[in-house]
Amino acid sequence: MSILADFNTFSLSLLMSLLVILQMTSITAGAEEAEKTETVSFEYELDAYYSNVGLYVSLTDKPIAFAGEKSEFQIYRDLFYSSYVPRFAVVEASVNPLPCLGLFIKNNYEDFYDDAEASSDINLIQAVTAGFEEPYAFSIFLGNVISFRKPGETGLVPNKGYMGYLISAGNYHIKDNDAISDNWLELEWKIKGDRKVEKQRLSWSFRVGGKMHGNQYITDVFYVSLRRSRIDYEASWLSLMQNSGFEFTLKFDAAEMNLVQNTFFVSKKWPMQKVAALTIDIGYIWEANRKYSGYLRDDEKNDLSFIMRPNIEF
């Protein structure tokens, strides 16, 4: 109970800090002139599942580079060849609001949480909040960031490519909507692309890394993950390719490289007035019983959880 009380207090403090930073910071997200003059900038993202605020700092005397009109393939090829020498740092604090809400409901409204069981294997609150193993995190990205304009595009430069190394840490682990004390450290190499223009939103990432846990009953893992998300405001609501997304992640135990978790979900998106999109993610999380040990292992069987995440993307 004391762990959850400390967690609730820390979460509230983190959320208040994020709000203060957002109010104090003037942001020019993606403006070309700003990128030509600023070597330090703040950016933030607000989302029901993953919200963050980041401090972008150039490690040289140059701002985020503008690569001109190049294809995305050329951009990421250039990033790959230069990523071994970090030229940019991003310091980020992030919080996962709905997963935190799931922890709060289970800890404070247990009867309501139990009433959300659709069957012996499916709890709707857990289905909505599943897939996030930490309530919050602090991260440092070291690598390269490039802004670019695809051939034929005009106006602002909202396209960014990222490639480099990410170090993340936290002190809690989420299991079945319970907060477990765990000083964890995550190291990964990632490549990420973000494209935001008037008619389209496209983002994708590829990650390879490892996560080490201070709690001896949580298995250390290596993982590989691929994610893609696209919104096209001019495409049909029924379009599967233009307004969709997916994420696929495999995790292996660090000791023997046996598969301990497989996460997969697909997203359907319904654009609204070129401002936002209704989305829903449907998928599953398969966990081997070897992912946990001791008091954290529920039984000797592997576990299959259902994912159902409604959201609004702006």
pLDDT digits (tens, 9 = 90+) for 233-271: 888 777 777 899 999 999 999 999 999 999 999 999 998
Per-residue pLDDT band at 22 (split at 50, 70, 90)? very low
Per-residue pLDDT band at 197 (split at 50, 70, 90)? confident
**Any idea which of 17-21, 69-73, 227-231, 289-293 has the lowest mean pLDDT?**
17-21
User: How many CB atoms neighbour CB 302 within 10 A?
Assistant: 13
The whole-angstrom separation of Cα 253 and Cα 30 is 39
Q: Is residue 238 part of a domain?
A: no
Question: What Rg value do the Cα atoms of the chain yield, rounded?
Answer: 20
Q: What is the mean pLDDT of residues 89-111?
A: 96
Q: Is residue 63 part of a domain?
A: yes
**pLDDT at 95 exceeding the cut of 70:** yes
Q: What is the mean pLDDT of residues 191-204?
A: 82
Q: Is residue 119 part of a domain?
A: yes
**Whole domain around residue 8: which residue ranges?**
2-226
Q: Is residue 27 part of a domain?
A: yes
**pLDDT at 23 exceeding the cut of 50:** no
Helix (H) or strand (E) holding 100: helix 97-108
**pLDDT at 24 exceeding the cut of 50:** no
Q: Which residues lie below 8 Å from residue 88, measured CB to CB, with a gap of 6+?
A: 56, 57, 58, 59, 64, 141, 142, 143, 144, 145, 164
The token pair that represents 153 in the structure block: 């595009």
Say how many Å lie between the first and final Cα of the chain, rounded: 37
Q: Is residue 160 part of a domain?
A: yes
Q: Is residue 257 part of a domain?
A: no
How many domains does the chain fold into?
A: 1
Per-residue pLDDT band at 203 (split at 50, 70, 90)? confident
Per-residue pLDDT band at 208 (split at 50, 70, 90)? very high
**pLDDT at 183 exceeding the cut of 80:** yes
**pLDDT at 311 exceeding the cut of 50:** yes
Concatenate the DSSP letters of all residues of 166-182 into one string.
EEEEEEEEEETTEEEEE
Q: Is residue 262 part of a domain?
A: no
Per-residue pLDDT band at 41 (split at 50, 70, 90)? confident
Q: What is the mean pLDDT of residues 123-145?
A: 94
**DSSP designation for 295:** G
Q: Which residue has the higher pLDDT, 22 or 264?
A: 264
Q: Is residue 233 part of a domain?
A: no
**Any idea which of 37-41, 186-190, 243-247, 256-260 has the lowest mean pLDDT?**
37-41
